[in-house]
A and B are shown apart, each in its own frame.
Chain A
């Protein structure tokens, strides 16, 4: 059974940084692209970022471009999201997701339980 476990969320002041981690188990990690998707409380889903199996391709939503950086470490079965210059509107549950395929962004087949990021002074 695939398990994705996010960590690193918490309360952070505007303008500060935070790094989220997601560790996968029960899956051949390097066979899949990975994504981060967020959901503000009571709101809809917003795709944040994605990365191909070998880190050769990445993508970002316009709302986070230039502030967030996605990376992965296949040896540790982990994907990361470095978030800089955080804003109150970045407050959300952040979900890690496993793509159907390795090299492209397609559908997100498996999801973690999420980690809450709250940006507030």
Chain B
């Protein structure tokens, strides 16, 4: 099974900052990686899929990069609405899926 390790597990930031969250896969997942945002008491929201494709309606201050085993979610000009927990997810197309442990942006 593919393990995903996110770092850091939590970070402190201010409005207007640029933050980056890393996700490392235990083996090559090509570009089959997604990012989600989850706010307390809410369901996850898809932000990015296939490593760098922005889901419709997601602000352009969110971006994803990386391939194979190392990926990054970057949020530029952090807004008050962006304080949340972020998860990466790998998918292999064959119904073996896993999530990272999450990164809380506070």
Q: Which residues of A contact B (CB under 8 A)?
A: 33, 35, 37, 44-47, 49-52, 57-62, 95, 100, 104-109, 111-114
Contacts and interface: CB of A to CB of B under 8 A. Distances in A.
17 contacts: A33-B95, A45-B44, A45-B89, A51-B95, A95-B43, A104-B91, A104-B95, A105-B91, A105-B96, A105-B97, A107-B55, A107-B91, A108-B34, A108-B36, A111-B43, A111-B44, A113-B43
Contacts of A104: 91, 93-95
Interface residues on B, range: 20 to 34
A4 to B, nearest CB: 9
B87 A107 contact: no
B49 interface: yes
Interface of B: 1, 32, 34, 36, 38, 43-46, 49-50, 55, 87, 89, 91-102
Contacts of A109: 46, 55
Contact of B98 (A47, A95, A108, A112): A47
A105 B92 contact: yes
A45 B95 contact: no
Contacts of A112: 43
A50 B99 contact: no
A111 B95 CA distance: 17
Contacts of B55: 107, 109
Contacts of A113: 43
A107 B55 CA distance: 10
Given A105-B92, A112-B43, A50 B87 contact: no
Contacts of A114: 43
Contact of A44 (B50, B93, B95, B101): B101
